[in-house]
Structure 1
Amino acid sequence: MKKVFKSLKIFLLLIFIVISCFAFIYKDKIKLYINIGEKYVNLQKDTSSIPKVNNSRNMKASDFETIVYKNTNNVPLTLDIYKAKKQLSKGSPVILYVHGGSWIYGDKNIPSVLSPPLDSFREEGFTIISVEYRLMKPGVSFDRPTSDVKDAIRWVYKNKDVYNFNSNEIGVLGISSGAHLSLLASYTDDKQFMDDKNLENYPSKVKYLIDFLGPTDLSTLDTSKANWDMNNILKSVPNVKELTSKYSPISYVHNGAPKTLMIYSKNDTLVPYKNGVELYNKCKENNVFAKLIPLENCNHDLSGLSKEDMLTLSKEVLKFILQNSSI
């Protein structure tokens, strides 16, 4: 009997040692899960704290920094860097935000609906970077803004030691046209969409991608609903069919593409829901991890977004980034 108790004690001691080692090795990850989980639970309890969708504001900007990341033909382009609020041993994971605006409008201020989840990650050691890109005009194709987004990723690699970035933990989050540019930049290889000579020798690989209402097949867009500026641009393009094929992200899905979270609204008349469905299916065909999250009622401009859809959006973004972070 004594031998049994002795063996049991040794077994329990070994279990304790294994659990302690596991907790020590993965303490940052465990703490991140707990802290982010608490924030989501609090958000569920108090939906009044969810900001209005049509507001746009910078996140807490006490340590906000704007830098020029490239200067092509005397056109300086900037990044807004929202610094991590604590140091991580392996460096700071990076989330790049790419704004929408039909490729011709918009700025890099982060929408208020995204600020709570992104602020939560800042508190846990992530750096958030918002990207400025050249807006389209007549005679200008998608090459320039796509190259800008891709160069912003290259800039992160170039400056990883300066800013203590973890270049193995880069994610991209784009909305609408910004999601389209994010998909193109993330699905294409390092040598495509090159622009700045100072950045062309750096990689552009990202670990994961969050596609929020992004056009994946440009041929599905209803151009009759395009505004005057966009129609002017389309009229300036000699071969629109060739353009829609070349710049449709669904054409670039391949086996090594980054893991992708897709968020689309069933009520979106500008970017039809099937954009998400078809991209999801193409990812599955190529063995790329993908998840499609439907929003039920909101329009493309997010009007009509319910509190339930807001909670779904926040939860899925938090969960996806957590699942794809190896800190």
Structure 2
Amino acid sequence: MKKFLKRTLIVLVASLIIFIAIFHKRIILTYRLVNKYISLESSNMTSQKIDGLKMSKSMNYKDIIYKNTNGVPLTLDIYSSLKKDGNPSPVILYVHGGSWVYGDKSIPDALSPVLNTFREEGYTIICTSYELKRDKANFNKQVADVKDTIRWIYKNKSNYNLDPNEIGVIGVSSGAHLSLLASYSGNDEFTDDKVLSKYPSKPKYLIDFAGPTDLSLLNTSNLNYDLTRIFNSIKDKNTVIKKFNPINYVSKSIPNTLIIHSNLDPMVPYKSSKELYDKCIEEHSNVELITLKSSVHDLSSISNDDIISMSKGLLKFIILNSPL
């Protein structure tokens, strides 16, 4: 009995030492990257150049077709890790916004510096596309596209030296809505490509930039022609809202979530993110909320202060969910 207790104590002490060592390493890494980023942004601000590094100049693989299920080839871009140590690379997947109708997989200038910082630390950045709506709403297909991108990463982990157990997703606006649904739903939900459907679709963590979490809160009274046609195509709005509201999928087992939203957002009500945050707390999910102060939705006119606040929070969140 004494030997057993002694061995148990040794194991516990060893585990505690390992935990402290790892946690301490992440604190140091967070401090170093945050200071590095702030220095970079301060330099950019001095020269009145806030857009940071143009990631498109260092893309490794462009327009890789990850599936083609209905005559519309969908593609992704890969920005490989800049740290060549031979180890499988953690992945950050970017999902663009555009009201489900517009947009492309280009990385916003406001995100480029922080994503390049992670590439230097060993991350691979993947930007995906999804089938844009044309004549009618098709949330089911778009969510399946995002999930199939994650499944593609699992399927092609050896080809690109990727670690599928270390996938984080960043979604902006409508891309955040689709990312929330893709990340919170089960592996067997929202399938499209038959081959890819055999692979897992769960990321480790998720960063939600102003994603609609309750479609009933959206103001659809002053939409442009394209969006009016899309929303008018929805006959049973209650059923659509129930199935495609990310807040309805919240449980204790969802990926760790960081929510970033301006309380002055003119397009998606801040209330949407606050309700998601409250629901996650209620379900004992791991969630954080960063509130921005500038009147911005798509990061295109974000203030310098909010860039710093957003990036520091994003850096810390990813590192604490990181294998580094």
Aligned equivalent of 1:72: 69
SS of match in other structure, 1:43 = helix
Cα RMSD, aligned residues only: 2.6
Aligned equivalent of 2:217: 220
Report the residue type matching 1:307 in the other structure. N
Aligned equivalent of 1:39: 36
Report the residue type matching 2:60 in the other structure. D
Deviations 1:183-206 (A, max 9, x none): 000000000000001101100011
Aligned equivalent of 2:167: 170
More deviation in 255-264 or 222-231?
222-231
Aligned equivalent of 2:295: 298
Whole-Å separation in 1 of the counterparts to 2:281 and 2:240? 25
Aligned equivalent of 2:316: 319
Determine if the alignment matches structure 1 residue 201 to structure 2 residue 208.
Answer: no
1:51–1:113 CA contact under 8 A, matched in 2: no
Determine if the alignment matches structure 1 residue 126 to structure 2 residue 120.
Answer: no
More deviation in 148-157 or 291-300?
291-300
| Structure 1: gaps (5+ residues) | 1-17
Aligned equivalent of 2:111: 114
Whole-Å separation in 2 of the counterparts to 1:130 and 1:50? 27
More deviation in 135-144 or 186-195?
135-144
Report the residue type matching 1:128 in the other structure. I
Aligned equivalent of 1:84: 81
| Structure 2: gaps (5+ residues) | 1-15
Report the residue type matching 1:151 in the other structure. D
TM-score, normalising length: structure 2: 0.87
- Change over 3 Å in CA distance of 1:29–1:59 after alignment to 2: farther
1:80–1:129 CA contact under 8 A, matched in 2: yes
- Cα distance, 1:51 vs. partner? 5.0
Determine if the alignment matches structure 1 residue 182 to structure 2 residue 179.
Answer: yes
How many aligned residue pairs are there?
308
SS of match in other structure, 1:60 = helix
Report the residue type matching 1:247 in the other structure. F
2:137–2:231 CA contact under 8 A, matched in 1: no
SS of match in other structure, 1:68 = strand
- Change over 3 Å in CA distance of 1:26–1:283 after alignment to 2: closer
Aligned equivalent of 1:252: 249
Aligned equivalent of 2:10: none
Whole-Å separation in 2 of the counterparts to 1:62 and 1:242? 41
Whole-Å separation in 2 of the counterparts to 1:162 and 1:153? 15
TM-score, normalising length: structure 1: 0.87
Report the residue type matching 2:269 in the other structure. P
Whole-Å separation in 1 of the counterparts to 2:48 and 2:63? 27
Of structures 1 and 2, the larger Rg is shown by 1
- Change over 3 Å in CA distance of 1:244–1:62 after alignment to 2: closer
